[in-house]
Chain A
Amino acid sequence: MIPTGCSYHRPQSIDQAVDALTSGSGAVILAGGQSLIPLMKLGQSRPAALVDVAGIASLRYLNVEGRRIAIGALTTARDLERSTDLAAAVPVFAQAAKQIADPAVRARGTFVGALAFGDPGGDWPAIGLALEATLEVCGPSGSRQVQIGANLTPWEAIKRNEIIASATIEVPDGRTAAVYAKVRHPASGYALVGVAVLLTLDAAGVCTRCRIAATGALRRPARLPTIEASILGSNLDGLDLEEVAASLRAPLAGITGDAYAGSAQRAQLLRVLIHRTLHQTVAKLTSHP
């Protein structure tokens, strides 16, 4: 049951959606609703108006062109999990999708919505960060591109009257692989801790790109630049990955704790998952050079 009332809009175009967001205060976008509706039940979100974008057919697409992936705002986790084109081009999407909630939730919840919402225990934000997604943001004065970087989170960069129309990901050339792993909350399915890793190696085995993003353990999903820096430029053959993961000590103050898992437990899980994902990513690169 949702305790409060609200008005409801069904725009048929992005312009109409932006109009609806602009015309009244407290209007929010409703896509899959798998994050928003639970929050409305808890009274943690009380929108004055819902702008249901499901009728905007132009937002429902998944384009895979080589290593460039474009994901429309209405594309669900189920779509990403089951696309054979996507699985061939960037397998981490299907690998991560299978770890999200459960099949019925995945049939509704969207990739772009998860990035827009940025739940502290959400899975897709870690993928968006590690793969450096670029968001196409539409507002009253047209559209602009917002890249998710180490310090730029979309939930801070997007205005109330803007809508994210798509996310684009370009996987770097060369020997690149990515892996996502999590320890899930047994009931809700959210990540107690989740880690996404993307590595690129040159011909000599030296790491030329390293992206490590964490979710569940921080106030907001974010990259871990210190760990990234300790890997970048190294030859992975000679690197003790367990030692790299164990070096996560300094920012412990930033690790969250709650009734499900305290901050010390989350910090340890984070180390374990960093080690595991790095190991799996290196294994992929070694088996498919």
Chain B
Amino acid sequence: MTPADSAIEVRLRVNGLDREIDVDPCRLLVEVLRDDLGLTGAHVGCDSSQCGACVVLLNGLAAKACTVLAAQCNESEVTTIEGLSSGSELHRVQAAFQEHHALQCGFCTPGMIMTTVDLLTTNPSPTEAEITEALHGNLCRCTGYVNIVRAVLSLAAHSSSEGGEG
């Protein structure tokens, strides 16, 4: 998209890389990530901050990228699902989702995983109730959530489950 006359410069760090982009002030972070930077892992599900498929980490906190302007991310650090794994080795949350079959179509999965990363950063040993609460802004239309909660629970520091430390 050609920046309009009102385009403004935004400097941000995305998945560890410094980026300088000119964006229209009304463009959403998720649009810039997907259309300008080619990072299509954050999905646009509802575009109304309800479904959570677009969740990324903004300065370490889970945020709905459909309800953040790219312009608001100046001097910020953004981590998307693409920034989690190192090479072919999955991040431990990704591995736990794989291990516990916590996805079917996979559309909601990037948002689920980024929200889980934020949860485990602030609460390394969440209970099942805390996991359900943390994920309630992330909708999944396939799984019924059971295996998603199971996957996250396997990562809780007190968990004795074998899965998830990928």
Contact = CB atoms under 8 A, between A and B. Distances in A.
Given A5-B4, A102-B137, A30 B67 contact: no
Interface stretch (B47-55, B80-88, B102-110, B154-162): B47-55
A24 interface: no
A270 B24 CA distance: 43
Given A37-B69, A41-B48, A54-B72, A104 B28 contact: no
A107 B6 contact: no
B28 A33 contact: no
Interface in B87-124: 115, 118-119, 122
Interface in B28-50: 28, 31, 47-50
Contacts of B26: 2, 4-6, 40
B141 interface: no
A78 interface: yes
Contact of A103 (B48, B68, B71, B118): B118
A225 interface: no
Interface string A13-34: 0000000000000000010011
A123 interface: no
Contacts of B138: 102
A103 B25 CA distance: 25
A117 interface: no
Interface string A209-241: 000000000000000000000000000000000
Given A1-B31, A2-B28, A104 B64 contact: yes
Contacts of A78: 61
A112 to B, nearest CB: 17
Nearest to B25: A8
Given A10-B74, A33-B72, A102-B136, A5 B25 contact: yes
B21 interface: no
Interface residues on A, range: 20 to 34
Contacts of A38: 48-49, 67
Interface of B is mostly: mixed
Interface in A103-123: 103-105, 107-108
Contacts of A33: 67-69, 72
A37 B67 contact: yes
Interface string A75-94: 00010001000000000000
Nearest to B60: A107
B137 A107 contact: no
A261 to B, nearest CB: 18
B52 A102 contact: yes
Most interface-central of A38, A82, A103, A188 (chain B CB within 10 A):
A103
A187 interface: yes
Contacts of A108: 63-64, 67-68
Given A1-B28, A2-B28, A37-B67, A30 B62 contact: no
A104 B115 contact: yes
Instruction: Kindly list the 9 A-B residue pairs having the minimum CB-CB distance in the complex, ordered from nearest.
Output: A102-B137, A8-B25, A2-B26, A107-B61, A104-B62, A104-B64, A37-B67, A7-B6, A104-B137
20 contacts: A2-B26, A5-B6, A6-B26, A8-B8, A8-B71, A33-B69, A34-B67, A37-B67, A37-B69, A38-B48, A41-B47, A50-B25, A52-B71, A82-B122, A102-B136, A103-B62, A103-B137, A104-B52, A108-B63, A188-B48
Interface of B: 4, 6, 8, 24-28, 31, 47-50, 52, 55, 58, 61-64, 67-69, 71-72, 74, 115, 118-119, 122, 133-134, 136-138
